[in-house]
Amino acid sequence: MQDAVVVVTGASAGIGRATARRFARAGAKVALLARGEESLGDLAKDLVREGATVLTVPTDVSNWEEVDAAATRIESELGPIDVWVNNAMTAVLGEVRLTSAEEFRRVMDVTYLGTVHGTLAALRRMEPRDRGVIVQVGSALSRRAIPLQASYCAGKHAIKGFTESLRVELRHQGSHVRTSIVQLPAHNTTQFGWVRVLGLAQHPQPVPPIFEPELAADAILWAAEHDRAELWVGWPTVKTILGSWLVPSYVDRYLARNGYGSQQMAERPLSPDRADYLTEPLDDDADYGAHGIFGDRARRRSTQLWLNLHRRAIGAAAAGATAVAAGLVHARR
């Protein structure tokens, strides 16, 4: 990543903020895209103090013209874009029957169409050069939807289908532009303090177990540097995806019983005057950073991810050990 030009959308907080910091520390020149100007500026100051080259471009990814203009400015000021990370999202937490058509549309405009816009802007510039990487920040919930998160799950399902179509098209064309989708578990981010909540009395929370956003950032960086079409992060993601494949009816019954309570904090009532980020950014009121309020329960490491990232080396070592053992057995005969 040394001197590579990397674009991160949704960079003002949460996983986007952690990802921008991770790429900057790897030596990349980082372009930060999000709606909140002050929070982007705060992050940029931090990264510049650490020696990074940073460009902030306030952008609403639901607006194609803004995204395309941002890409033009980035290439003019930083150089050709090498990596584009589509991370921006928004959501509504509540039952389908309580969610309006306008709320669903806004979530899809940001979460899904924001990814489409970022991908198209990147492709316009990467395809003529026949190089570049587009990383989509996905979710285990792109494979298994859960109650109360129809808007978010729909957006992530759409991203998965869109990315699979694009990947096959690029292969058909013989293109060296590469795509990767990183499927994430629950993370300790600002999302749960900002999400619009409908019909619930308790403060929302990610479904445990919970991971720190730096783990996601590590996975996204790895995906940008390695040729892996899809990267699963954490045992919860593996269990969610495989469980949905193998025992879908059981998963339905389990979620019907437990899916509501697991997404709410039992002893923290929801504030009646709580604001949300659905239509306007909240991060200009304060610098929230990458983390949410669940740090006392969040994990920084994942054994599954380490094994996943090193599976070739582990497989080679296992094969070598097997060959040595077989040789010893043969020698003793």
Query: What are the residue numbers of the active site?
Result: 152
Dihedral sign of CA atoms 314, 316, 321, 326 in order: positive
Query: Both tokens of residue 310?
Result: 């090193």
Rounded Cα distance between 68 and 64, Å, is 6
Measured in degrees and rounded to the nearest 5, phi and psi for residue 227 equal -90, 85
Query: What is the CB neighbour count within 10 angstroms for residue 260?
Result: 15
- How many angstroms separate the first and last alpha carbons of the chain? 52
| 95 three-state secondary structure | coil
Query: Both tokens of residue 240?
Result: 């969610």
Query: Both tokens of residue 83?
Result: 């990596």
User: Could you give the angle at the alpha carbon of 169 between the alpha carbons of 168 and 175, nearest 5°?
Assistant: 100
